[in-house]
Chains A and B, each alone.
Chain A
Amino acid sequence: MIDPMLLETILMHYAAGHLRPSEALLVACHVALNPAARRRLEAYEAIGAKMICDCAEEDAAPVALDCFDKIMARIESPAPVAAPVAAAAPRAPMQRDAAIPPSVMALLCGNCTERSIRWQKLQSGVEAVSLHVPAGSPCRHRLRLLRLAPHQQTPAHRHGGREMTLVLQGGFSDHTGSYGAGDLVIAEGAAFVHAPRASAEGCLCLTLTEAPLRFVQTRIRFFNFFWRF
C-alpha cells in the first residue's frame, strides 16, 4: 500500500534521529526539494525540542560540576579534530551531474562515497547508479539513482520491504497516482505490486529499497537473479 501516513512517520523518525544514513539522506533530499515537507519536519523537530524542555527540573539529570569548564576549555583550545565518524575519510568531491537539482547534488556529494555519477544501463530506457552512504554498522538499504526514458515503463514488480522513491526531475505514474519532482512515494508490503511508467519528460529519481525487487511476470522472472534492484 502507498500510505500517506508513512511519510509523516518517516519525517518524524528523521526528526528524532532514528533513521539510518541512507534513509536520512533520502529524507534530507526530499525536504531540500519540497518546502512543505521541510516545514513539517521542522514541526516534528520542535516536538522533539519540547520533549526536552518539558523535562521537569527534578527529572533532569545533573551534569558533572566541571562540565561547563570542560566545554569552555575545549572552546578555548580546540583539540585536533578526531575523526570518529564513518564519513570522515577524505575523498575527491563528486562530479556534478547537470540533471540533478543542486541542493540534492550537494547532499549526495556531502554524504556518498562515490566520486562520480556513472550511469549503468539496466535495460533499454532504464539506467541506474548505486550510491553508498557510510554507516557505522551494516545496513541492508540500497540507495540508487534511477533514470527512466520518457514514457518508459518498468516491468511489474514487488518488494520484500519498503520502497521509497523521491522524484528529482520529470515524474512517473502507477496505479496509485502520478508523482512529480519533490514527491516522496513510500510503498510497503509484499502484496504491493506496481509497474511505474515515466512521464513525457522521463523520470529521474532517487530510490531506496530494503530488499531486492521481484518481477512478477513469469517470462521475465529470470531477471530476478541478476537485476538486484
Chain B
Amino acid sequence: MTTVPPPVEDPSFSLAGTREPPRRVLMKGNEAIAEAAIQAGCDAYFGYPITPQAELLEWMAKRMPEEGRAFVQAESELGAINMALGAGAAGARVLVSSSGPGVSLMAEAMSYMAGSEVPMVLINVMRGGPGLGSIGPSQSDYFQAVKGHGHGDYRVPVLAPSSLGEAMEMVATAFELAEHYRTPVIILADGIMGQAMEPVEQHYRTPPRQTASWALTGADGREPRVVRSLHLAPEELEEHNAHLQEKFRAIAEHEVRWAGERLDDADLVIVAYGTAARVARTAIARARAAGLRVGLFRPISLWPFPSAELAGVADRTRGLLVVELSAGQMVEDVRLAVAGKVPVAFEGRTGGMVPSPDEVVEALRELDATGSSRRARRVRRRPPIPVSGADHMHPHEPMAEPETGHDALSIFGDDAWMPHWYTVPVPTHPTRNGRGRGHGRNGSAERRRGDEGGTR
C-alpha cells in the first residue's frame, strides 16, 4: 500500500460554490469545463492564451475574481505552470489549461511537481502538431501526456473525457485524485470538446480538501515545511523514488477507468477515447446496420491504461481497430495490452482532420475481411545510412571482441580513470555467432525478419 496521507479538511480553503438544482443548459465546452472547476472548489487558475482553449482562460478571468479566488494571466506557459506550482504547494486547489505547444513548455514544472508531490490539474485542449501545427482538434499529445512531458522517473494520471458532461464531472474527480495522491493530473481533451456546444446538466461536486497536513502556510508554532524535489544524496533520492514508485503502483492498481459499449456480442471492437470514441459510436451503429457485430472499448484513464480489461475483452473478439485523431499513439499501448492475441488495426487522421464514420466502417470491413487494416503495410527495410569515415562503426559489422574477453567497460580504455563503481567486471556470455555480442549479421537479420510492421 502507498503512503498517501489520509484526507484532511483544510479550513482555510473550505469554500463551496453556489448550489443550484441541476439545470440542462447549452454550453460551450471550454466554458462549461471552467465553470465546473469553479464549482469543484478551484481556488486558483493560471493560464496563457492559446487556441483552442482561450475561452477557458476568458471564463476564468471573469468568474474567478467574482468568486474571490486567484486568477493570473501569466507571461508564458512557463509562468502559468510555476504559479500553479507555488499555489499548489501552498495547499490551494489549482487549475491550469493550455494546448500542445503550451503544454510542451510546462513539461519542466510537471517534473518538479511530480517530484515534489504538488497537486494540480492541467487541461490540455489538444490541437494538431508537431510544432505550431494547426488549431484543429487532435489527439496527437497522447505520448506527451501518457509517456512524456518532463524528465525523470514519474507518471501522472491522465483522464480523457468523451462528452462535455463527462468532462465537467471529471474536473472534480481530477482534483480529488490530485490531492489524494499528491500528484499533477492531466485531463486530455481536444479542440472539438473545447469548442463544441452541448447540452449539459449542471450537477456540481466539491470534493473535500486534503492538503492541510503538508501545505506551506508559514511555520508559525510548528516545524518548517519544505516542498522540494532535490535529494542530492543518491541513497536519499533512490528512497524518494521508491516512495514515488509505490504511489504510482497504487494509482495503477486503483484508478483504472474505462467504459464498454455493445461488447457482449462483439466480433470486432473499436478502441478509442475522447472525440474519436464519438466518431466510433456512429461508425458502430452503421457497421451493425450492415451486419458487422462491433463494440466499443473506451479508455477513460489513459494512464493507468486499462490493459488487463482490454486484454480480457480482446480474448472474446477476432480483432481490434484503434481509432485516433493522430498518426497512431494509443495503438502502441493497445498492442502491448493484447500482446499479439488478436490483430490490432489502426485508423487515424492528423493535422486537425477527423476520421469520418464511413472511413471507420471501411477500416472495420477491412479488418473483418483480412485481419488487418489497409494502413498496415509490409515494411521493406534498406540498410541504414552508412556513417562516412567510420567503417569500423558500420552498424552491419560485428563489434570487435574486446581483447580481455570479459570487461564490457573496456571501451573506456585500460588507462581511463573510473570511479570504483564503474569497474565491476562483467562476465562474458558466449554469443550465438561466436564473433561478437549479438550485433552481428545473424542477429540483425533475425531482428529484421521479426519486425515487419503492420499487424500480423
B partners with A: no
B positions within 8 Å CB-CB of A: none
Binding site for B on A (CB under 8 A): none
